[in-house]
Structure 1
Amino acid sequence: MQPVRDFFTGVGFFFQGLGWVARHGRWWLFGLIPALIAFAIYVAALVYLGNNAMELADWMTPFADSWGWRDAFRVMISIVIFAGGLALAVVTFTAVTLAIGEPFYEKLSAAVDPLPDEVEQPWWKTLPRSIRDSLVTLGWVLMFTIPLFFLGFIPVIGQTVIPVIGAAISGFFLTVELTTLSLERRGLIRKQRFAVLRASKPSALGFGVAVFLLFLIPFVSVIAMPAAVAGAALLVRNRLSPVPAEAP
C-alpha cells in the first residue's frame, strides 16, 4: 500500500539524517549548541513550574476553599498544570531551538542540501521571518493540541485514539518546522511550503512522527536535533516537489 510505504520512507529520512551527522561529527557538535541552550531554558522553566504548580493551582481554584477534599483536588490540578507545561515544551522545543539557532541550522541545512548559485542571506534578515512563521505554526499546533490534551482525560479513548492523533498532528507540524530551512532556500513562502508537505503527507507524517516520538525522551531531543535538521534537508532534496506551481 503506497501511503504506508511513503510513511516509512519518511521515517527513513530521519535515519539518513542521523547517518549524515554521524559521518560529519563537526556539524553534529555545531548543531548541538542552540539545542543545549534551548534545553537549559526549558529545564529551568519546568523546574520553576514544578516548584510553583501548587501555588498556581491554589490561585486558580478559590472556589474550592470550603471543600473538604480541596487539597487532593488541588494536587490533581497541579499535576495537570505541570503535564500541560511539559506537553507545551515538547511541541514548542523545535520552534524555539530553530529560532535560537537560525544561523547554525541554516549552515547545517546548506551543507546537507547544497543548491547551485544560491545567494546566502544574512541571518539577521531571515530571523524575523523565521520567528513570525514559527509563531504562526505554533498557533496551529496549539489549536489542535490543547483540545486533544483535555480529550486525553476521557477513559479508554484518551489513552488509545487521542495519543495517536496527537502524535500525527505534532509530527506533521514538526516536519513543517524542520523543512522550513530547505524550502525557504528554494524561495517558497509559508503557504507554498504547506502545499508541498500536504502533497507528500505520508512521507511528511512518517518523518515527523519519528522525530516527535524520539523528542519525547528526555535529552534525546537535544542530541537528535542536528540529525532532525539534516534529515529534513534530505527529505526536501530527495522526496518533496521542488517548487509548487501556485499556493492554493
Structure 2
Amino acid sequence: MREFTRGMAFLGRGFAFWRRRPGAMALGLVPAAVVGALFLAGLITLGIFLPDLTEAVTPFADGWPALWVTVIRLAVGTAMVGAALVLVAVSFTAITLFIGEPFYDRIWKAVEADAGSAGIDADYGFWRSLRDGLALFTRGIAVALLAALLGLVPVVGGILGAVSGVLLTGWLLADELATRALSARGLDAAARRRLMRQHRARMLGFGVATQLCFLVPLGAVATMPAAVAGSTLLARSLLGENASGPAGLAGHPPTSASARARVDIA
C-alpha cells in the first residue's frame, strides 16, 4: 500500500510543477482541451441515444416481463457507458500525446532539466509517437471490451466493470506516460516492461490517481500537463534517480542511464 500511495503522490508533484514552469504547463492545456471537447461531444451523443442503443442490442427481451426488461437494459446501458469511459480515457491520452507532442516535449524537458538531467534527449519523433498512440488505443479497446463484459454480470457487474476498468486503464496510462523518460535512457520495450513490473504498485498508484482525475468533469484537460510532469518524476524514481518534485531538487546527481538500467532490471 505504501508503494501505491507513493505512486499517487507523483501526480501531486506533477501539479506542483505549475509553480516552476507555468508557461510550459499552460501550453499543455491546449491539445488536451481540443481533444477533450471532441470526446465530450461524443459522450453527450452516447447519452442521448443510449436508450435506443440498449433496445437495439436487446431485441430478445421485448417479450419479457417489464421488470426483467428494465434490469437487462439497465445492465447493458451501464456496460456501454463504462466501456465508453474506459475507451475515452485511454484514447484521450493517446490522441492528446500525439497531437500535443511539441507541447508535452517542452514539459518533459523542463522537468528533466530541473531535476538535473538536461542533456537527456528522448528522440521521440512523429512516427514513434504515432506507433505508441496506436498501441495504447488498441490496448484500450481490449480493456473497454473487458469492462463491458464484466458489466453484464448480474447485480455486481456495474461495480466490477468500473473497478476493473479503472485499474487496467490506470496501468495503461502509467505505462504510456512513463515511456518517454524511460526510452530516453536507452531502455527498450522489454526492459521497460520488466522495470515496471518490479514496481507494479507504484505504477498502478500513479495510473489510478490519473485515471480518477480524468473522470472528473474537465479533469482530463486540467490533469494532462501534470500527468506528463509527474510521470517523468515517476520514471526517474523507478531507476533510482533523484525524483524530487519542484519543491526541492537537491540531491545526488543521477547515475548514467546504462549503469542504472543494468542495476535495476538485470
**Is the CA contact (8 Å cut-off) linking 2:79 and 2:149 kept in structure 1?**
no
Tell whether 2:47 aligns with 1:36: no
Match of 1:175 in 2: 174
Residue identity (%): 34
Alpha-carbon deviation of 1:194? 1.9
**Is the CA contact (8 Å cut-off) linking 1:133 and 1:190 kept in structure 2?**
no
1:70-81 paired onto structure 2 within 5 Å: 76=74, 77=76, 80-81=79-80
Tell whether 2:158 aligns with 1:192: no
Q: 1:237 to 1:73 in 2, by over 3 A?
A: closer
Residue identity in the other structure for 1:188: L
Alpha-carbon deviation of 1:91? 3.1
Which digits, 9 at most, give the CA deviation of each residue in 1:80-115, with x for residues without a partner? 434432332123221221112111111111110133
1:201-212 paired onto structure 2 within 5 Å: 201-212=200-211
Report SS of the residue matched to 1:167: helix
1:15-30 paired onto structure 2 within 5 Å: 15-30=12-27
User: What is the distance in 2 between the residues matched to 1:145 and 1:232?
Assistant: 23
Q: 1:5 to 1:54 in 2, by over 3 A?
A: closer
Structure-1-length-normalised TM-score: 0.81
Residue identity in the other structure for 2:183: E
Which digits, 9 at most, give the CA deviation of each residue in 1:37-95, with x for residues without a partner? 11011012223333334454455455566778698589645564344323321232212
Q: 1:140 to 1:98 in 2, by over 3 A?
A: same
Q: 1:46 to 1:189 in 2, by over 3 A?
A: same
User: What is the distance in 1 between the residues matched to 2:52 and 2:158?
Assistant: 28
**Is the CA contact (8 Å cut-off) linking 2:150 and 2:158 kept in structure 1?**
no
Residue identity in the other structure for 1:98: L
Residue identity in the other structure for 2:23: R
Residue identity in the other structure for 1:201: R
Alpha-carbon deviation of 1:217? 0.8
Tell whether 2:2 aligns with 1:8: no
Residue identity in the other structure for 1:44: A
Match of 1:90 in 2: 89
User: What is the distance in 2 between the residues matched to 1:48 and 1:159?
Assistant: 21
Match of 2:232 in 1: 233
Match of 1:217 in 2: 216
Alpha-carbon deviation of 1:10? 1.0
1:61-72 paired onto structure 2 within 5 Å: 61=58
Tell whether 2:69 aligns with 1:50: no
Q: CA RMSD in A?
A: 3.1
User: What is the distance in 2 between the residues matched to 1:161 and 1:6?
Assistant: 24
Q: Where does structure 1 lack aligned partners over 5 or more consecutive residues?
A: none
Structure-2-length-normalised TM-score: 0.76
User: What is the distance in 1 between the residues matched to 2:78 and 2:134?
Assistant: 27
